[in-house]
């Protein structure tokens, strides 16, 4: 089967940790171009200083945009206008208005538009999804999803400097929201507390956001001051609870140069397995579903070939942006805000 030529825009952490190794390991894609402001001697493909030069000279059919959030819209619009399919790092864009406009341009161009919401293929998330599908927790009443770090010092980088799309809520919040929406759909209302907690911080570095559903509550949380063990997922139903500690292993494996093709890739150590607690006090460990970030690109290839529907649609990503904005608005005004499903 013929490889699909790909270009990547940006060569920072996201490109090097995720997109470069996932594309290199793929049987569907061939990296043909890289756009970077600085030469990258270890990436053996044609390199360009800007997107315009790449679009004029590259045969790439798919462009993966990993540049800072502030330029997502402009770069994606440029690529769509040049007739290229587009995958954006999360978040897709920074406002609902930008998202709607980009979706309209993709539809007009007849091109695929997707977003790298890779955490749908985390091992712990897939395991939880399976438990819920089997009804092992009974009727869901409470869901908590935390992604905490110990990073008490403010660093000089675009994610922590004031600007469009900066701050932890636009960064990790996009993952937390996409996972919740994948499991439960849109809530009825949102209560947000998104603030700068560290001394000297000029962007949001702490967030606790509550999603209000008709019959249960979901809490999303990220803090820069967590060094003690804390559950990544805590899920409570009327037939049991599921608790899972530790982050998915794939990011750490990719950073350690483990190939997605390796037999050990995506597999957690037994010490990290989640636990299912029953009302009678008994507990059992839950063998996890294998993590599989590569599934995102397999689906992109299948969608481009007309073999499968797109797993992560632009509509999915737009709902994430809508709730990102709504939670920040709730935090700013200090009250619970209703979700307008007609808006997305």
CATH number for the domain that contains residue 10? 3.40.50.720
Q: 244 and 176 share a domain? A: yes
Query: At residue 113, does pLDDT exceed 90?
Result: yes
pTM above 0.85, yes or no: yes
Examine residue 296 and state whether it is found in any structural domain, yes or no.
no
Q: 100 and 130 share a domain? A: no
Q: 71 and 134 share a domain? A: no
Mean pLDDT, the chain, rounded, equals: 96
Q: 44 and 108 share a domain? A: yes
Examine residue 310 and state whether it is found in any structural domain, yes or no.
no
- Quick one: average pLDDT of 81-93? 97
- The pLDDT of residue 157 is 76
Tell which of 65, 86, 116 closes a domain. 116
Tell which of 74, 95, 116 closes a domain. 116
Kindly list the strands in the beta sheet with 113-116, ordered across the sheet, starting from the edge strand earlier in the chain. 46-48, 29-35, 4-9, 62-65, 85-89, 113-116
Q: 284 and 258 share a domain? A: yes
Q: 103 and 203 share a domain? A: no
Q: 230 and 244 share a domain? A: yes
Query: At residue 312, does pLDDT exceed 80?
Result: yes
Examine residue 298 and state whether it is found in any structural domain, yes or no.
no
Query: At residue 50, does pLDDT exceed 90?
Result: yes
Examine residue 318 and state whether it is found in any structural domain, yes or no.
no
- The pLDDT of residue 143 is 98
- The pLDDT of residue 160 is 72
- Say if strands 240-245 and 274-277 run parallel, antiparallel, or are unpaired: antiparallel
Q: 37 and 103 share a domain? A: yes
Q: In terms of residue numbers, what domain contains 95?
A: 4-116
- The pLDDT of residue 321 is 97
pLDDT tens-place string over residues 240-254: 999 999 999 999 999
The domain total for the chain is 2
17 backbone dihedrals φ, ψ, rounded to 5° = -80, -40
Tell which of 116, 151, 178 closes a domain. 116
- Quick one: average pLDDT of 95-121? 98
- The pLDDT of residue 344 is 87
Q: 156 and 194 share a domain? A: yes
Examine residue 317 and state whether it is found in any structural domain, yes or no.
no
Query: At residue 104, does pLDDT exceed 90?
Result: yes
Q: 129 and 112 share a domain? A: no
Q: Where are the beta strands (DSSP E) in the chain?
A: 4-9, 29-35, 46-48, 62-65, 85-89, 113-116, 140-146, 189-195, 206-212, 217-222, 231-237, 240-245, 274-277, 283-286, 337-338
Examine residue 18 and state whether it is found in any structural domain, yes or no.
yes
Three-class SS state of 83: coil
CATH of the domain at 279: 3.30.360.10
Examine residue 243 and state whether it is found in any structural domain, yes or no.
yes
Examine residue 301 and state whether it is found in any structural domain, yes or no.
no
Query: Model confidence at 165, in pLDDT bands (50, 70, 90)?
Result: confident
- The pLDDT of residue 338 is 98
Query: At residue 164, does pLDDT exceed 90?
Result: no
- The pLDDT of residue 135 is 97
pLDDT tens-place string over residues 1-41: 799 999 999 999 999 999 999 999 999 999 999 999 999 99
- Say if strands 29-35 and 46-48 run parallel, antiparallel, or are unpaired: parallel
Query: Model confidence at 156, in pLDDT bands (50, 70, 90)?
Result: confident
Q: 281 and 201 share a domain? A: yes
- Quick one: average pLDDT of 110-121? 98
Q: 161 and 264 share a domain? A: yes
Question: Is there a cis peptide before residue 91, judged by omega within 30 degrees of 0?
Answer: yes
């Amino acid at each position: 089967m013929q490889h699909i030529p790909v270009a990547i825009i940006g060569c920072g952490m996201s490109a090097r940790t995720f997109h470069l190794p996932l594309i290199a390991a793929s049987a569907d894609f061939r990296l043909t171009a890289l756009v970077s402001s600085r030469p990258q001697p270890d990436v053996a493909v044609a390199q360009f200083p800007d997107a315009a030069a790449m679009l004029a000279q590259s045969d790439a059919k798919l462009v993966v945009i990993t540049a800072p959030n502030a330029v997502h819209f402009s770069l994606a619009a440029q690529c769509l206008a040049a007739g290229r399919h587009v995958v954006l790092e999360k978040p897709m864009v920074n406002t609902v208005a930008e998202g709607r406009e980009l979706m309209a341009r993709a539809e007009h161009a007849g091109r695929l538009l997707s977003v790298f919401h890779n955490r749908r293929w985390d091992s712990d998330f897939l395991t939880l999804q399976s438990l819920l599908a089997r009804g092992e927790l009974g009727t869901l009443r409470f869901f908590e999803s935390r992604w905490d770090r110990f990073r008490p010092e403010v660093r000089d980088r675009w994610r922590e400097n004031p600007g469009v799309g900066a701050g932890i809520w636009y960064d990790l919040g996009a993952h937390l929201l996409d996972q919740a929406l994948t499991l439960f759909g849109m809530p009825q209302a949102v209560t947000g507390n998104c603030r700068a907690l560290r001394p000297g911080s000029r962007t949001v570095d702490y967030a606790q956001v509550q999603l209000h559903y008709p019959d249960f509550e979901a809490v999303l949380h990220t803090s820069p001051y967590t060094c003690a063990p804390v559950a990544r997922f805590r899920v409570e139903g009327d037939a049991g609870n599921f608790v899972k500690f530790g982050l998915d292993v794939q990011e750490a494996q990719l950073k350690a140069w483990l190939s997605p093709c390796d037999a050990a890739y995506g597999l957690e150590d037994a010490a990290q397995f989640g636990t299912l607690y029953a009302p009678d006090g008994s507990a059992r460990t839950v063998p996890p579903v294998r993590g599989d970030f590569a599934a995102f690109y397999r689906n992109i290839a299948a969608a481009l070939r007309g073999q499968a529907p797109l797993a992560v649609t632009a509509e999915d990503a737009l709902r994430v942006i809508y709730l990102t904005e709504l939670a920040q608005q709730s935090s700013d005004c200090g009250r619970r805000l209703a979700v307008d499903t007609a808006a997305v």
